[in-house]
Each structure stands twice: as structure tokens, then as C-alpha cells.
Amino acid sequence: MLSLALLAVVQTQPVNKTFEYVASQKLERVNVAGSFNGWNKDKDALKLRADGKTWAVTLPIPPGRHEYKFVLNGSDWILDPANKNSADDGGGHVNSVFVILPKGFESAAKVGDGKVTLEALSHIPKVPSLNFDQGQLSLTFVARTGDVQKVIFETAAGEMATMTKESGDELYTTYRTELSWNQIRPLPYRFTVVDGPRRVTFGASGANSKDFFKITPKTFTPMKVPAWVEKTVFYQIFPDRFENGSKANDPEKTEDWTTGIPTYSNWFGGDAVGIQSKIPYLKDLGVNGIYINPIMEANSNHRYDPSDFYKIDPPFGTNEEFIELTKALDSAGIRTVLDQIFDHVGIKFGPFLDVLSKQEQSKFLKWFFIKSFPVSVKQNPPYEGWFGTEYMPKVDMMNPEVRKYMLDSVTYWMKNAKLSGWRMDVANEVPNDFWRAFRKHVKAQDPNAWIVGEVWYNAAPWLSGDQWDASMNYPFRDKALGFIAQGTTTANQFVNGLMQVYNFTAPQVSRNQLNLLSSHDTERFIHVAGGNRDLAKLGAVLQFTWPGAPSVYYGEELGMPGGRDPDNRRPMDWTKANAQNDMLSFYKKLIKLRTTNQTLQSGSPVVLSANDSQRTVAYARVYGNSSVITIMNRSEQPQKVTVPLARLNKPALIQAKTNGYLDALTGTRMKLNASNGLTVEVPALSAIIAVNPTGGISKPAKLSQNLLEKQ
């Protein structure tokens, strides 16, 4: 998928695009919803033309790859019949796709022709393009893909370094360089783009300028995120489906745990007492954090329609029981991150009930987006609802009274429960100004509290230090689905895509991302993989060896199946939690490796090889003089794979030569070959995780300024 982060960096101008739908029946309205408007089915309405059947609208769309659907009469989502290009969104849905090329891309790019697309060149001297992390200053530069031979970084002192090509897509490629900086002396720098005989200098004034960017400790503040997150393996719990510990709080007509079939409206009785009873299981599994879906009083089994932000939903338990649960988890070394909604409420929310009762006379009118009176709960409601639904009225987070209510509720729970962070639902639909206030409010109470937002695409606009610490990394999941679960992308596309997602944000943010394969909103990974347990294990290997905090969706470690919602929310199958379950033992091994190996927690990723014909990839995590090499075989046959290690830094390569590696999954020892690489046999649909026998180290090795060549 095209990097929307890169598009934001190069600041390309929107292009007008016309959407047309020819109706075969009479319709009340037609809207277009897509990645360009937050999938808002009510936002962009098409107008009926004079022929009485053609609906159309012209919208300014930013360049890049976009997905969309038409929405008929506010409820029927369909593909564009006139567009044959479509793609699976990773959530079990197929959308229509189009690509808009940026200005300057009218003619094809060619390396070495002396022509450079100036409009594509970009460097913005702030996070993530300019970043300080683990003692190193990293800088990235963007150019058009397939357009230039190299990009050179240079300082005012005449030091130079050819930048490394890190990742790219069909439009843009990212180049990176790193150097040590003592955060004391100013650093003037610029770039030179080389293609054939042409050299384009890119300075503070843009292309063809020779002035220098200049950073100083006063003008550049390094971004900080909670350090504990990259050391954490999370376990996601959907509360009603994990464990029923108390029959006393069960809702009426609670389903049988083993025979009931999940629907959008039925209950199974999972509660706080049930989770607390399974703390020994979580400890034995090895996880050290849980992300728990909403538990506030609500009207639904998913509780994303809260009616009281200060009260635990009775079927889950009492306030006291939840507070006790968080303390018990903390005592067991397991942090709690709580899911909360700051975009909408349920129809039983007190202020909304007041509006329904008093109509125009209600003092809470400005808490909501009322369109007309009388206000009643019905389809196509007279108020704005999330996704247009009548049972989730949106609240105005710019209203000071609403904001105070929400932030005060955050204070209440952080003071009373043992919470380590917040996961925010549909966070891309909440005003950025609120997130800035939210961050200040949360960090004032606990500077190490983690703030993670839900957004299904590149979250870079929220991850520059003033709003969130991380996001749910659905783009990472997309790459895992394409290569591993579905087998639809090549090895090179896979590793390039992983690096592209990694480069969306600063490295410390990428290590803070919540990396998931499955969630309550998606088909389970093993389901997308056709039930293949080997592919599910391969996906887990990626999740536990790539930068970002792994998030295991409850039952994933047992190989539980599950298609689209609500099938993906089946009750936990405790009968599978036994010593004979090879998936469970595999997960335990991966979790222990991840929570004990500092290189897998804090190391930088380095792509070592990708072979499209073999369908094999190899990448490293490097931290100082320690490295962990992951070699994956996605093919149906065993493969002999030779992995060059030249891209490791010098200290890591020296240790690799001295000590070799140990396969963490089998215990097999491996020595480097004559070319200082690894040659290994990898069974079909499996992986090798090669670790240094001495393990990780406590500090990363700092790059020396003299790595830049004086020219």
C-alpha cells in the first residue's frame, strides 16, 4: 500500500477526481466513503444528474493509493461497478481501488537519465525525518522511486555519507543515514541528489538551494515514548469471552460457554473475576501486559457504546472488582492498558437521555451534533452518529464541558486502578486538539503512561510527540497477511513493505507500536491462512522478531479459529490450553525469547536478503554488538538459504564471526560460512531465529562521527 506518510512529507497538492454511479433502481441518496474521508458514509454525497440515474460528485483527493465504496441509501455498501481494480482490506472486506499520481510524475522515471523529479524530493527537519534515538541522530530523505542513483548527506564541515535506500513503494523511496551527535554542538547539513551527470542540492530552501538545515539543542527536542512498551508482550482480552468467573452477574439468557454461537447481541458472561482467576495462566504464558476491550457500563456486549464513564458494567463486575483485578495483575508483573471511547457514547448515556427527554430545552444539546428536532433514536438519526449508526451518538470533543467530563473520568481511573495506559477507539475521528490536551493530562499523572490510538492506516500524523505514543499497527498486519497468510505478495514486496511501515515513524515510536495479527475487529490470522497452523506460527515468528510490541489476541496462542465479527469473538476454548497443544508451546517459546532478549526488544531492523523464487526472506535486529537473524521460508518445500551479513554493523559482525549463532527454536548451533554469511536449511513453511549465544547487551554501540567520509 502507498505510504500516506510519504505523501504528507512531500506535501503534494490534491487532484480533482469524479466519482460516478449509474443506478438501476430509484435511490434516496448515494455517498462515497473511503480512505480519503475517514470512511464516513454520510460525508460526501453524490448528486443526481438530469438523466435520473447517474449520480456523481467531484472531490479533491490527495495523490496516492486509495480504497473506497459507494453507500446506497445510507446502508448498502457496494464496490464501484465501473472500477475493476479492488483489494482485500485485511479485515475480510474487498474495496475498490484507484491511484492518483502526484505532480511531476506524468512521465516515467528512469535511473541515470539525468532527469530528477524535483517535486518528489523532501526532507522536513522534525520527527520522524529528523530523529534522535539510542545516542544516534537519524535523518531520512525522500525521492521518487526509480528516479535517482544515490542521495548524499553532507555537513557544513565537508563530511559526507551516501544514504542507505531503506524502503519504498510505487511512488516514493526513503533514504536514511545515521551519525552520533552530542546534543551540544550545532549541526548544519544538506543533501545532494545524484542521477547521471545531474547533481541537485537540497537545502533548507528546498531543491536547487545550497543553504544548510541547522539543528541545535534549542531548536530540536528528541521525542520520548514509554521505554517499558518495547519490552512488553501484550495479551488482548475481549471481556465477555475470556472467562466467566461469577454466575451471579451474568446477564439474562447468557449463552452456554461451549455450545453457544456468538452474535452481535448475545452474552457469554466473561467478567473481572474470570480474568483474575486466569492470572496464573497469563503468567505461565509469559505475557507482561494486557489490553482489555471496554468495560464501562454500556448497552452492548462489546461496550463501545458507553453510558457511564465512571462505572464498570455490572455484567463485568463492580468498580472495586476491576480495581482489585488491576492490582492483582500488577502484582503478577502484568500491566493493564484500558480501552476507552472519546468519540461517541451510547443512547443510554445520561446527557443524551436528557436530550431525548427535554429536546430543545436540554442543557446538553451542545454535547452532541444535533441536526433537527424532534430528536429520537432511529435509522438515519437527526444527530450525528458514529458511522451513521443511531445507537452511537457522536459527542463534541471541542465542547469544554464534554472535554472536562472525559478527562475527569481518566483521572478517576488512573488514581483508583493500577493502569499503565490507554487504548483509544476510532481515535482518528477525534479532533487533534483534544489528543494534545489528553496527552498533557495523562502524562501529568504518569509520565510513563502509554497512549495508543486506533487507526487502520499510517498513523504518523498523530505520532510526532504531541498526541499519541503509538498506534494499533494494522499496516504491519497487512504485510503479514499478504506474504504469510495469503501468499499474494513476493518476498521482496514483503520486506520492502515491512521497512516502509517501520519508516512511517521515528524508530523509538516503531518499537512502541502495537503489532497485531488478529483483533476483535478482524478475522483471526489463522482463519485468513486457511487454518494452516504452520503459517500461523510463521506469522507469530514475524510478530515476535520485528520492532513493535507483540499483541496476542486471546486464544491465538491456542490456534483458535474465527472468521469475521462476531465469529472472531468466540468464547475462549480452555480445552485447548494443555501441554499437547503445539501452538501453545510454540507461543510460550516465542514469548520467553522476546521478553528476555534485549536485541529483539530494542534492536534496529536490517533487511539481509529476499528471494522471490525461493519465497524466503532474512532480516536482522541489531543492538550494539548483538544481532538476531530471522530466516523465513514461505514456500511449500525446504530451502537452502544463504544469508549475507555484510549489512550488520561492524561490532555485531565481529561477534557473529567469533561466536556464531544458536537457533532459538531448535537449539541448533550455526557458524558463519567462508563468505561471513549463514547457509542454512529451512524446512517448508517455517523459520529459524538465530541468536548470539551470549545474548543481548545493555547498551547500543554509538556510531562515531568519523563514519562520515571527508571529501
Q: Write out pLDDT tens, residues 135-170.
A: 889 999 999 999 999 999 999 999 999 999 988 888
**Residue 9: pLDDT over 80:** no
Q: To the nearest 10°, report the CA torsion of 490, 496, 498, 502.
A: -170
What is the CB-side half-sphere exposure of residue 406 using CA atoms within 13 A?
Answer: 27
- Residue 250 among the catalytic residues: no
Can you give the CATH number for the domain in which 610 is found?
Answer: 2.60.40.1180
**Residue 708: pLDDT over 70:** no
Which phi and psi (to 5°) does residue 355 adopt?
-65, -45
Both 467 and 545 in one domain: the answer is yes
Which pLDDT score is estimated for 92?
65
**Residue 208: pLDDT over 70:** yes
- Number of H helices and E strands in the chain, helices first, is 15, 38
Which pLDDT score is estimated for 694?
67
Both 537 and 660 in one domain: the answer is no
Q: For the chain, how many structural domains are there in total? A: 5
Spell out the residues 6+ positions from residue 185 whose beta carbon is closer than 8 angstroms to its own: none
Which of 215, 237, 260 is the last residue in one of the domains? 215
User: pLDDT band for position 706 (50/70/90)?
Assistant: very low
Three-point CA angle 671, 677, 680, nearest 5°: 65
pLDDT above 70 coverage of the chain, percent: 95
Task: Measure the CA–CA gap between 424 and 426, rounded to whole angstroms.
Answer: 7
Task: Measure the CA–CA gap between 405 and 20, rounded to whole angstroms.
Answer: 43
How large is the average pLDDT for residues 556-580? 97
How large is the average pLDDT for residues 563-569? 97
**Residue 545: pLDDT over 80:** yes
Which phi and psi (to 5°) does residue 709 adopt?
-95, 135
Residue with cell 547500543: 700
Which of 186, 215, 244 is the last residue in one of the domains? 215
Both 350 and 329 in one domain: the answer is no
Spell out the residues 6+ positions from residue 625 whose beta carbon is closer than 8 angstroms to its own: 649, 651, 652, 654, 655, 697, 701
Which pLDDT score is estimated for 15?
86
Instruction: Assess if residue 65 is contained within a domain.
Output: yes
Reference 621, options 547, 529, 525; nearest CA is 547
- Residue 454 among the catalytic residues: yes
Which pLDDT score is estimated for 183?
83
Query: What does DSSP assign to residue 466?
Result: S
Task: Measure the CA–CA gap between 191 and 211, rounded to whole angstroms.
Answer: 10
Q: What is the pLDDT of residues 106-115, one digit of tens each?
A: 889 999 999 9
Whether this prediction's pTM lies above 0.85 is answered by yes
Instruction: Assess if residue 544 is contained within a domain.
Output: yes
Burial of 114 (0-12, 13-18, 19+ CB in 10 A): exposed
Can you give the CATH number for the domain in which 383 is found?
Answer: 3.90.400.10
How large is the average pLDDT for residues 209-238? 93
Both 365 and 405 in one domain: the answer is no
Instruction: Assess if residue 189 is contained within a domain.
Output: yes
**Helix, strand or coil, per DSSP, at residue 355:** helix
Instruction: Assess if residue 699 is contained within a domain.
Output: no
- Please say whether the dihedral angle defined by the alpha carbons of residues 146, 147, 150 and 155, taken in this order, is positive or negative: negative
How large is the average pLDDT for residues 651-660? 93
Both 326 and 419 in one domain: the answer is yes
Instruction: Assess if residue 377 is contained within a domain.
Output: yes
Instruction: Assess if residue 702 is contained within a domain.
Output: no
Which pLDDT score is estimated for 42?
84
User: pLDDT band for position 709 (50/70/90)?
Assistant: very low
Q: 607 near 495, Cβ under 8 Å? A: yes
**Residue 447: pLDDT over 70:** yes
Which pLDDT score is estimated for 5?
38
Which pLDDT score is estimated for 387?
85
Both 434 and 561 in one domain: the answer is yes
Task: Measure the CA–CA gap between 350 and 311, rounded to whole angstroms.
Answer: 12
Instruction: Assess if residue 697 is contained within a domain.
Output: no
3-state secondary structure 618-651: EEEEEECCEEEEEEEECCCCCEEEEEECCCCCHH
**Residue 93: pLDDT over 80:** no
Both 93 and 26 in one domain: the answer is yes
Range of the structural domain that residue 352 is part of: 344-396
Both 163 and 286 in one domain: the answer is no
Q: What is the pLDDT of residues 265-320, one digit of tens each?
A: 999 999 999 999 999 999 999 999 999 999 999 999 999 999 999 999 999 999 99
Spell out the residues 6+ positions from residue 184 whose beta carbon is closer than 8 angstroms to its own: 217
Q: Quick one: cell of 450? A: 502509554
Both 378 and 356 in one domain: the answer is yes
Which of 596, 622, 657 is the last residue in one of the domains? 596
Both 480 and 550 in one domain: the answer is yes
Task: Measure the CA–CA gap between 126 and 219, rounded to whole angstroms.
Answer: 10
Instruction: Assess if residue 272 is contained within a domain.
Output: yes
Tell me whether strands 136-144 and 130-133 are parallel, antiparallel or unpaired.
antiparallel
Both 13 and 62 in one domain: the answer is yes
Catalytic residue selected from 154, 169, 271, 425: 425
Both 522 and 566 in one domain: the answer is yes
Catalytic residue selected from 154, 240, 343, 454: 454
Tell me whether strands 686-691 and 677-682 are parallel, antiparallel or unpaired.
unpaired
Q: 699 near 603, Cβ under 8 Å? A: no
Can you give the CATH number for the domain in which 171 is found?
Answer: 2.60.40.10
User: pLDDT band for position 14 (50/70/90)?
Assistant: confident
Which phi and psi (to 5°) does residue 352 adopt?
-75, -40
Q: Quick one: cell of 348? A: 443510554
Q: For residues 380-403, b (16+ Cβ closer than 10 Å) or e, as one string?
A: ebebbbbebeebbbbbebeeeebb
How large is the average pLDDT for residues 114-125? 94
**Average of per-residue pLDDT values in the chain:** 93
Spell out the residues 6+ positions from residue 582 whose beta carbon is closer than 8 angstroms to its own: 533
Can you give the CATH number for the domain in which 277 is found?
Answer: 3.20.20.80
Q: Quick one: cell of 688? A: 529459524
Three-point CA angle 7, 9, 14, nearest 5°: 45
